Each structure stands twice: as structure tokens, then as C-alpha cells.
Structure 1
Amino acid sequence: MNFTDYLQLFENILQETNPKAPYNNPDYLNYTKLNWSRQQRWLKTGVINAAVTTAAKNITVPQQWVIITEPWCGDAAHIVPFLSKIAAINPLIQLDIQLRDAPPFLIEQYLTNGGKSIPKLIIRDNDGQDMAVWGPRPAGAQVLYDQLKAENADFERVKIELQQWYNQDKGQSLQAELLEVLTQVASIA
């Protein structure tokens, strides 16, 4: 689905009287409500830096950017809006959003340490060949997550500290990493 369809799906989940699993679980529904707000904030206030803008504009052959995500994913709420904004810079970038927990279960081909961590960005060439894979989160957020996990932090603490990290970072780490990915992809194309 394209980003507009993803936003509509997201909104439909929030408006359902009797949402389907996993959104029938109040925790998942609450995460999704929070993520909607976070995503909307980044769509309004997130700034794509000049270097990433230039790298996206310099793409001269069609690319497909596949994002594997879910509306309940906290990391995705901070990452997918930036990826969408970057993809919109160049009409040669086709954005395709795939849900992690729905057919064709593309995540099975892009596991992180054996897990279905999301979001994932897969950049493919015009023939559908993978040129790069990024995700599930910027390195700094991953370090924080690993540290909290090693400390056996409860989910609430993990959620709050990652949220604070993303708020302070403002998409800059993601963009720095994506700039490296785009530079590598440009050398392949």
C-alpha cells in the first residue's frame, strides 16, 4: 500500500467500534493512539536535512522502498514519517508499505537476530533486487534499547526512554544512517 493508504488504515483502526486483533487489546489500541499522534507530529514538524534531500534528488533510476511496519509499533511512529517525506522528494522512489503481521509476511525474509523487529526499509532496484536493508531503529536508539533490555527494564521504562531519545534526536540519526545507505546504493546503481 502507499503511504496515504497506510494512514487511512491507521485511522480506520482508531475509529473502529470493535477493532480486530491485536487492536481489540486495550494496550495495543492505546499504543496505536499514541503512535498516531507521534506520527502526525513528525509529519508536521520533521525536517529533512539538506544532505538527505540532495541524495534523494540525485536518484536517477527507479527504486522501490518497501517499509515493513505496523501501526502499533512505537519505533515506526518516529521513523516511517521521515522515510515517507524522503521518498516524496523524488518521483523515482515508489513507496510500498507492507504490514509485518499480514500476508505475504515479508518480514520472514528480513529478521533481525531471529526476530521480527520493525520497521524495516528495503530499497530495491527496478528489477526487484534488494540494494539495501535498514532497520529496525537508528544505532543510538538500538544501544539504548539493548542497555535497557540488559537491565531487565520493564516495558513502561523502555517505552518512555526510547520516546525521549526520539524526541531529542528529531530524526537526525535516522537521516545520517539513511544518507550512508543512499550513498552505498548510488554506488551500486
Structure 2
Amino acid sequence: MKIPVAKALFNSHSYPEYRKLVSDLLLEGKSTGNEQSEDLKHYSELNETRMNRLDKTMKITNENSLKLKNLNSEYIWLVISEGWCGDAAQLLPIINKMAIDSGKIELKIVMRDENDELMKLFLTNKKKSIPIVIVVEKETGSVLGSWGPRPKGATYLINDYKKEFGVIDETVKTNLQLWYLKDKGLSTQEEIINLMQNL
């Protein structure tokens, strides 16, 4: 096992622990991460509401549930996240349900800013984009693959907007949230299951 992965696992949170950490910090008027600002706190509050809703409404399709149960090994999904990250708020509730549903996956979450060494191993276009799901085989501790920071459709949406307008602004952030709402977590389920089946 790579040392940064082992270190991160040692300091990781379960999904309920992660949710509690974000909530507790919000009560103190803070967000997770090294940087503190009104904007980041505001995004964390929005994400808290979003995740509460998704925890209740998010469903794994029967077909995907079956595929997860039929995985031939036991895994850890180590997810790099932060409470202020809009994509993480949309994706973690799905990833959590998938892990529970499988009976073969343990979900562990770590903070990006506290795990710089790990983050540097999983950059997206040289950027520290999150969330990133790192697939670790439980028995051997080997890193088998990774996924993230967002489903392909959402990535195209952001890239096309950036190409046309040259910025990531509130308009495209709203469009992205609407994309997630319409997609109902299906792209995420399919892309991650695809990765798991092709390991």
C-alpha cells in the first residue's frame, strides 16, 4: 500500500462521522479545509441541506444493486472530499448507498487539505479537483483504480461552458446542480460500477 494511502486510511472518517464533522464545524461558523470564508461556509450550508435531501431520496437501481452484490472481492472506497464542495455533496450520498448496498465495500472519507500528499497522487489536469474515489483492495491494500471528480456528463457541461465563457461562475454552478438533479445519480452509479467490473 502506498504510504499516503495508508496514512489517509488511518485518519479517515465513516460517512456518518464525515456528516457530523461538517455539521459541527458549521455550528462554529466554519467550513472544512484550511481556507475559511463566508462563501465556503455558505456552500457548506447549501451542501448540508442537499445531502440531507439526497440521503432520503437517492436510490440505487435494482440492476446496479445486483452488480454491486456480485463483486468478487472486498474493497475500501477512500474518498477525498471537503464539506464546501458542491460535487462531493451530490456524489457522496450515492457513493455511500452503493457501498452499503454492496455488502462488500467500506466507505472511508478524508479531507483534501489534510491529505496533500495523497491528493497529489490523484490530480485531475494538474488540479486538486474533488471528490476522488480511490479503490483499494481490502485484502492486499493495493490501489486498483480511481474515479472522479464528477460524472462525464457533468464534466462536459463544465468544460463546454468554460470554453464558451472563459469562467466558472454562479450560472454554470446552478446548471451543474440542475444536471445532477435530473440525472438522479444514475451516471455516477454506472461509471463507478463499470470501473469496479473492469478492475
Q: Say yes or no: TM over 0.5.
A: yes
| Cα deviation 1:66-108 (Å, max 9, x = unaligned) | 0111110000111011000110123331111011111364111
Residues 154 and 145 of structure 1: CA distance in aligned 2, closer, same or farther (over 3 Å): closer
In structure 2, the residue matched to 1:31 is: 43
Q: Given that residues 58 and 184 in structure 2 are in contact (C-alpha distance below 8 angstroms), is that contact kept between their aligned partners in structure 1? A: yes
Please show how residues 102-181 of structure 1 align to structure 2 within 5 Å.
Answer: 102-103=114-115, 105-125=117-137, 126-150=139-163, 151-181=165-195
Give me the whole-angstrom Cα distance separating, in 1, the residues matched to 2:172 and 2:117. Answer: 27
TM-score, normalization by structure 2? 0.87
Residues 178 and 31 of structure 1: CA distance in aligned 2, closer, same or farther (over 3 Å): same
Give me the whole-angstrom Cα distance separating, in 2, the residues matched to 1:135 and 1:17. Answer: 29
**What runs of 5+ residues in structure 1 fail to find an aligned partner?**
none
Cα RMSD for the two superposed structures: 1.7
Give me the whole-angstrom Cα distance separating, in 2, the residues matched to 1:120 and 1:67. Answer: 5
CA offset at residue 128 of structure 1?
Answer: 1.5
Give me the whole-angstrom Cα distance separating, in 2, the residues matched to 1:96 and 1:119. Answer: 12
In structure 1, the residue matched to 2:95 is: 83
Give me the whole-angstrom Cα distance separating, in 1, the residues matched to 2:118 and 2:49. Answer: 27
TM-score, normalization by structure 1? 0.91
Give me the whole-angstrom Cα distance separating, in 2, the residues matched to 1:128 and 1:170. Answer: 32
Q: Given that residues 69 and 103 in structure 2 are in contact (C-alpha distance below 8 angstroms), is that contact kept between their aligned partners in structure 1? A: no
Residues 124 and 161 of structure 1: CA distance in aligned 2, closer, same or farther (over 3 Å): same
Residues 22 and 44 of structure 1: CA distance in aligned 2, closer, same or farther (over 3 Å): same
CA offset at residue 181 of structure 1?
Answer: 1.1
Q: Match of 1:149, as an amino acid? A: K
1:95 paired residue among 97, 107, 122: 107
1:58 is aligned to 2:70: yes
Q: Match of 1:177, as an amino acid? A: E
Q: Match of 1:142, as an amino acid? A: T
